[in-house]
Structure 1
Amino acid sequence: MDLLIVAKQVLTGPAGDRLEQGAVLVTDGKIAAVGSEAELSAPEGVPTVHYPDSTVLPGLVNAHVHLAFDSGADPVATLRASDDETLAAGMAERARRLLDCGVTTARDLGDRGGLALRLRDRVARGEVAGPRILTAGVPLTVPGGHCWFLGGEVDGDEQIRARVRENAAAGVDVIKVMASGGQLTPGGADMWESQFDARQLRVIVAEASKAGLPVAAHAHGTEAITAAVMAGVSTIEHCTWLGQGGSYDPRPEIAEEMAARGIAACSAMSGNWRRLREAMGAERAERLFGRLRWLDELGVPLLIGTDAGLPGSVFDDLTSSLELYEHVGFSRERIIELATTGSATALGLGDTTGRVAPGFDADLLVVDGDPTTELTALRQVRLVVAGGRQHILRDSNRTVR
């Protein structure tokens, strides 16, 4: 797809970098040129789309989703009752919903039977609409542990190594390990309890490193976070700092170690955070939410993710999750940077996506209004371009000449 996009402003990334009355030329799936409307004109035969009251920005990143889950009241029961064909169809629909809200890169952190791998490749070939997908395949867990039903139970070093090798051979982009318990698995470890110790996590990291793969560690508990950091994982998912019984137990020395090692934290908070605040109580919730500012102030890289697929965590509303960051004091420009440039960089895609710059993949979002003034503008999607493929929404206010 070749296209010239003209808009009131272009947020090129990172925070603070913008171009008034800007234009972006897309050629052969890449951003070919960025400049002012006066400077750029469409080559012969290339259409121009005008958005006079809109903003162009990099496509958004959702770094923690589960396409195999349907966001319903009991996504695990639905998954277990679905055959692969039904599950694959649902996953494709959910990928499209991500794209509809401007997400052009998504990291899927646990599915069944490699279905997300197949979907990733179908999207890349242009067979179905969806964002760029990074996938972990089947996550590692202990027997009967968190998300055991996805098929990744391992017991002992040899099984750990074998599962990592199997996932790598299948072509995953990241290895996922359930370092602590989680809320989706009744009867398993509590959220604050560890499932693997630091030595076992080092085995996982070492085996993944042989295949050139990063490791994402699901870790709610402080002890699990500590073990994962010491083992050298690439990202900590949730990073909730739960002590015994669910108390809040942050450890500055571990967070500082994360910053020193460049280990990113993904809170994986859904858009339901306001409801969670009511359920938990304001004081406890604000301590939990406040860890985002605390981590950022210590220099820990932050990833934007929503845990989409869990009950009530939908795939087509990233903005509600971003509003949590505004609630705890992040500026809107910083939030947009985290959801684009920052998350792309933390995922190892900083030279590919997350900026509106020549040579980058054409992952672009056009919204009405100015999201640096009001985040709600991100809901006013007018155009999404993912991997150079144009995804035009109904009722778009564009004009073409």
Structure 2
Amino acid sequence: MLLLTADLVLTGPDGDRIPDGAVLVDGSTIVAAGSRAELDRHPGAAGAQRRDFPGATILPGLINGHAHLVWDASMAMLAHYFDADDAELLLGVVGRAQRALRAGVTTLRDLGDRRGLVLRVRDAIDRGELTGPRLLGSAAPLTPPKGHCWFFGGEVDGIEAIRAQVRHNAALGADVIKVMASGGQMTPDSPPTWAAQFSRQELRVVVEEATAAGLPVAAHAHGTGSIAAAVAAGVSTIEHCSWQGEQNSGPDLRDEVAREISARGIAVCHAYPPDWRGFAEFVGEQRFAEAVQRVRWMDERGVAFLPGTDSGVPTSVFDDYAGALSYYVEAVGWTPGRVVELATAGAAAALGLDRVGRVSAGFDADLLVVDGDPSADVHALRRQRLVLTRGEPVTPA
């Protein structure tokens, strides 16, 4: 048994807080959470190892909904990826996953790798052979020939090829099926970001086949046409969701599509990087302001958000999730408490995870201890005192 105490426990939902709180852990499971006085009287507390954290907060481990562990976040990430063999990539995946964990990310969803390498690391972590966060992986995303991220190995041409690739990824053990519904920026000589890469019928087949395998679908979609098609197909999450008009004509916001996203319970992963200020300078003031306004516009229409970073692309590092979350506070204008919920209980719900994201009896002991109160100051998430993954302590970053 392990008894953790702190000035504050944030259980996950915004506003749900326990002053002078404590959490009792038995192995990989939370046994109880409550006030320090209550847990001091708990039958399991008498023989428990005790760790007190004055001036600190205990909260659920953070959840990053969008990353690419085979990429190294350098400006030459694609060249490094092409040059690396599978053994090198595996080592990189392990190292970057552990870097994320030390920064408080106890669950991470990877949305594109080569030959399911992330799934192999996931399995080694699950078996206890490696220390790492809880990993969810998609293996190779579906994309048309020479489409966005074709180099992961998920190229498909036609309905039967789509079915075969979904079945292949499911057989590898994928937790989610990723489809590149639109083009993207990282692939030379591929369709532009606003261009649709699959028809509505093809996206329906992706969802149909994934559903038969019991898997959700994450759709990379920048263009408004591809967003609308993904929504109609019934995907579970939309990545980026940039609402780009055709021929790069500027934002094409469609109220009825946004409201349908909300009605269907589809989560949007905006996937903004930790260095969002540097990114704002790179894209320019107008484009950055448009991106912020799109988030506010979707929020006003009831869209649920899943935070993620697209970690692995240039400058989007794995060990500063707090920096990415500060975007929603300092640029979008949400409260720190809402953002903490977004990255814990909210993210778990969006990903269909029922044992993480909360500090509550029966949940897995994925916990973060930080100095200060992150529900008042999001940057407190950078001040890690302790990270627990399935009850095992990890040295913070």
TM-score, normalising length from structure 1? 0.96
Q: Deviations over 1:74-99 (max 9, x none)?
A: 21111111111111001100000110
Question: Is 1:376 aligned with 2:383?
Answer: no
Q: Secondary structure at the match of 1:155?
A: coil
Match of 2:236 in 1: 234
Deviations along 1:265-316, one digit per CA (max 9) or x if unpaired, are: 0001112321222233323311112222222221111101000000110000
Q: Residue in 1 aligned with 2:138?
A: 136
SS of match in other structure, 2:34: strand
Is 1:187 matched up with 2:186?
A: no
Alpha-carbon distance in 1 for matches of 2:187, 2:167:
25
Structure 2 counterpart of 1:290 = 293
Q: Letter of the aligned partner of 2:324 in structure 1?
A: S
Structure 2 portions without partners, runs of 5+:
none
Structure 2 partner of 1:19: 18
Paired position in structure 1 for 2:339: 335
350, 357, 362: which is aligned to 2:360?
A: 357
Is the partner of 1:24 in helix, strand or coil? strand
1:319 has 2:318 as partner: no
Deviates more, 1:72-81 or 1:54-63: 72-81
- Counterpart AA for 1:348: G
- Equivalent of 2:309 in 306, 309, 321: 306
Deviation sequence 1:10-67 (CA, Å, 0-9, x none): 0012000000000000012111001111111353442100001100001000000000
User: 1:374: how far off?
Assistant: 1.3
Residues 293, 330 of structure 1: 8 Å contact kept = no
Deviates more, 1:143-152 or 1:321-330: 321-330
Shift of 1:9: 0.3
The one-letter code of the counterpart of 2:339 is: I
Q: 1:101 aligns with which of 89, 99, 103?
A: 103
Over residues 227-278 of structure 1, what are the superposed CA-to-partner deviations in whole Å (9 max), with x where a residue is unaligned?
1001111100000111123311111110100001011100011123212222
Offset from partner CA, 1:148-186 (integer Å, 9 cap, x none)? 011000000111000000111111100000011111111
Structure 1: tracts of 5 or more residues without a match: 395-401
Alignment of 1:29-178 (within 5 A): 29-41=28-40, 43-178=45-180
What is the one-letter code of the residue matched to 1:226?
A
Among 340, 345, 351, the alignment partner of 2:349 is: 345
How far apart, in 2, do the equivalents of 1:393 and 1:60 lie? 13
Question: Moved runs in structure 1, 4+ residues, more than 4 A?
Answer: none
Question: Secondary structure, in 3 states, of the residue corresponding to 1:345?
Answer: helix
> What residue is the counterpart of 2:211 in the other structure?
209
In structure 2, what residue type is equivalent to 1:334?
Answer: R
Contact conserved, 1:146 with 1:182, CA < 8 A, in 2?
A: yes
Normalising by structure 2, what TM-score? 0.97
Distance 2:100 2:238 in 1: 22
Q: Does 1:6 align with 2:2?
A: no
Residue identity over aligned pairs, in percent, reads: 55
Q: Write the distance in 2 (CA, Å) between the matches of 1:303 and 1:376.
A: 19
Listed one character per residue, the Cα deviations across residues 103-156 of structure 1 (whole Å, up to 9, x for unaligned) are: 011000000011000000111122212110010011100000000011000000
Kindly report the root-mean-square deviation, in angstroms, between the aligned alpha carbons of the 2 structures: 1.1
> 2-side partners of 1:393 and 1:296: how far apart?
33
Q: Which moves more between the two structures, 72-81 or 291-300?
A: 291-300
Q: How many residue pairs are counted as aligned between the two chains?
A: 392
Counterpart of 1:397? Answer: none
SS in 2 for 1:39: helix
SS of the residue 1:354 aligns to: coil
Counterparts of 2:49 and 2:279, CA distance in 1: 46
Partner of 2:200: 198
